[in-house]
Chains A and B, each alone.
Chain A
Amino acid sequence: MKEIDHILIQRYLDGDLTEKEKVEVESQLHLPSIQEYLEAHQTVTKGIQQYGEAQARRQVQQLEAEAVQEETNVPSTTKWLLRGVAASLLLLMVAFPLYWFQDEQRNGRIFNEHYQAYQALGGATRGESDADLLLPQAFTAYHEQDYAQAIELFIEVSTQEDRPYVWLYLGNAYLSNEQPAEAVKALQRVLEYPDVNRKTELRAHWDLGLAYLKLNNEDSARRHFEILQDTEDYGERVQKILQSIY
C-alpha cells in the first residue's frame, strides 16, 4: 500500500472520514495488507496505552514512597509511649537535665497560654444520615467538656461523615483531653482533604502546632506555626510563640 492509503486508514481509525471515503476503506478491509496495517496499529495504540498506564503506576509508587516517608517522620502513639518509657528510665538513671525540663515547662506554658477549645460549634450542613443523630450528641459532649465522650462520638461520626471538620473537632477534643499524640493523627487527617476550606486548614495547623508543643516536638510545631505566621487570624500569636521557641 502507498503512504497515502495509510493516512486514509489512519483517518478511518480516528473516525475522521466522509461517508464516501469510509465506504471505500471498508470495501478493502479484508485485504491482507490492510489487515496487517490494522494489526500493527492495534499494537502501537496498545503500546501507547501501556506507556500511559506505566506512568500512572510510577506516580502511585512515588505517592506511596512519600506516604511511607512521612509515616516514619510522625511516630505512632506506641512509639511515643515506648520513647516516653525509655526517656523516663534514662531520667531515673542520670541526673534530670535541667534544660530539657525548662523546655518542657516553657512549651507547656505556651500551650496553656494559647490553647482553648472551640467556641463556635456546628457549621455542618445537616441531612438525615446516622451521622446527623450522633453529631449533636458529640457537640453537646464537647460543649459540656466531656471530652472522653466527645472523642468516642466523633470517632463514630468519622466513619459515617466524611468531612474535615469532624477530624478537626476530634483532634481538638483529644487535645482538650490531654492526648496530644492522638490529636496529631486526627488533625493531620484534616489536611488530607482536597476540599478543606481555608479557615479549617489554618485551624488544623494551629492545633497541630500546639499539639506538637505539648509533645515537646519543637521542630514539627515550628513547621506548622510558620505556615500561619502571615495570616490575619494567627499571625500575631504565632510570632510570639516562634520567638519563644527559637
Chain B
Amino acid sequence: MKANEIITRIREGDERVISQTYRRYREEFIRWMKKKYASSDEEGRDYYQEAFCRFLIQVQSGKLTHITSTIKTYLFGIGRNVFGEQQRKNTRFDREIDEEKIADHYELKLQKEEKEIEYQLIESNLEKLDKKTQDLILMFYYQNRSMEYIAEKLNYKNAASAKNQKYKCIIKLRKTLESYKIRRAGR
C-alpha cells in the first residue's frame, strides 16, 4: 500500500491500518531517537507517541491528505520537530520564570485557564450525546467532512437533514456555555 493510500484509509477510520502503521515504525523510531539524540527508550516511546498522534490528528482532520515522501520520512520529521520543541521548552523554562517576576502574566494565565474550563465543558457535553450525533459533530467540526459525506455515512435522509441535526446540537452546546458564563458572572 502506498503512503497516500494509507493516509486515505486512516482518514476513513480504518483501525487496522492505524494500528499497523503505528507498529511498523515504532521500534525503528525509538532506535533512531536513541542513536541521533541519545534519548532513553522511555523518551523515544514518548516522542513516538507524540509524533504519531500529531500525524493521526493531521490526517483525521483532513489537513494532511497526501504526501510526497514516505510515511516513515514524514513521521520521523515530526519526531525531529517534537524533539526540538521539547529542547526549546526545557531551555526556555528558567527564563520564563524570570520574565514572570518582572511582568505580571497573572491575568493572562487566568483567562487561558478559564478558556480551558470552557473547552472542557464542551467536551463533557459531547460525551453525553448519542453516538450518531457525536459522530455527526466530530465529522463536521473535527474531520472537516462535507454534509453530503456525513449524511451518507451516518444514514441521514439527506445533507439538509444532517445539517438540521447539527444546528440543533450546536445551539444546545452554545446554550450550555452561555449558562455556565452567566453562573460564573453571578459568582
Contact = CB atoms under 8 A, between A and B. Distances in A.
A7 B166 CA distance: 11
Contact of A10 (B141, B167, B177): B167
Nearest to B178: A40
A140 to B, nearest CB: 26
B49 A52 contact: no
A49 B20 contact: no
Interface stretch (B77-85, B94-102, B105-113, B168-176): B168-176
Contacts of B64: none
B24 A48 contact: no
Contacts of B122: 43-44, 46-48, 50-51
B121 A47 contact: yes
Contact of B18 (A40, A46, A59): A59
A195 B70 CA distance: 14
A67 to B, nearest CB: 6
B186 to A, nearest CB: 17
Interface string A41-78: 10111111111111111011101101110000000000
B142 A51 contact: yes
Given A10-B170, A194-B1, A63 B138 contact: no
Contacts of B60: 52, 56
Nearest to A13: B170
A37 B122 CA distance: 15
A48 B57 contact: no
A103 interface: no
B119 A47 contact: yes
A192 interface: yes
Contact of B56 (A14, A60, A64): A60
A148 B23 CA distance: 27
B4 interface: no
Contacts of A61: 49
Contact of B26 (A50, A52, A67): A67
Nearest to A54: B123
A21 interface: no
A51 B174 contact: no
A192 B173 CA distance: 41
A130 interface: no
Contact of B22 (A16, A45, A63): A63
Given A51-B138, A52-B138, A63 B177 contact: no
A6 B23 contact: no
Contacts of A45: 141
Contacts of A53: 57, 142
B87 interface: no
B45 A51 contact: no
A4 to B, nearest CB: 11
A16 to B, nearest CB: 8
B49 A64 contact: yes
A48 B126 contact: yes
B171 A51 contact: no
A48 B137 contact: yes
Interface string A95-139: 000000000000000000000000000000000000000000000
Given A63-B19, A192-B23, A40 B138 contact: no
A80 interface: no
A43 B177 contact: yes
Interface of A: 3, 6-7, 10, 14, 16, 37, 40-41, 43-57, 59-61, 63-64, 66-68, 162, 189, 192-195
26 contacts: A6-B171, A10-B171, A40-B177, A41-B174, A43-B115, A47-B118, A47-B121, A47-B123, A47-B173, A48-B138, A49-B141, A52-B143, A54-B123, A56-B56, A56-B57, A56-B60, A60-B53, A60-B56, A63-B19, A64-B48, A64-B49, A68-B45, A194-B9, A194-B24, A195-B5, A195-B6
